[in-house]
Amino acid sequence: MKHAFNVAGAPKAIGPYSPAVRVGQWVFVSGQVPFDPATGQLIEGDIAAQTRRVLMNVGALLSASGLGFEAVVRTTVFLADMNDFAAMNAAYAEFFTEPYPARSTIQAARLPRDARVEIDAVAMIGD
């Protein structure tokens, strides 16, 4: 059975999608952009600040299922500019430890509300 959810520590969806969905042992976190959950507005700041805010939003959704970043098995990172890769990667590394999740990183022509980064995640409950 599919269970969709959101939490106060993560932004509300800006379209017809669920911020996160749990199906069995799997949690799928929709692409998060650097919205401040309190205001619903895109945060100011460089790519590192935006990456941290995105991952804080992902973390809030994971915690609703009792999970942390160690449960993440796959992420996709969308960058508005691939020149931001190194700074994004350094901020990303603050949230994950080995064994790291599988990941793809691509440059997108445009992201929602002109964010510089968007990240989605897949996590597994249990082992």
Tell me the average pLDDT of the chain.
95
| pLDDT score, position 122 | 98
| pLDDT score, position 9 | 86
| pLDDT score, position 91 | 98
Provide mean pLDDT across the span 29-46. 95
Q: What is the CATH number of domain 2-124?
A: 3.30.1330.40
- pLDDT at residue 127 greater than cutoff 80: no
The angle at the Cα of 108, spanning 60 to 14, to the nearest 5 degrees, equals 45
pTM: 0.96
Provide mean pLDDT across the span 73-86. 98
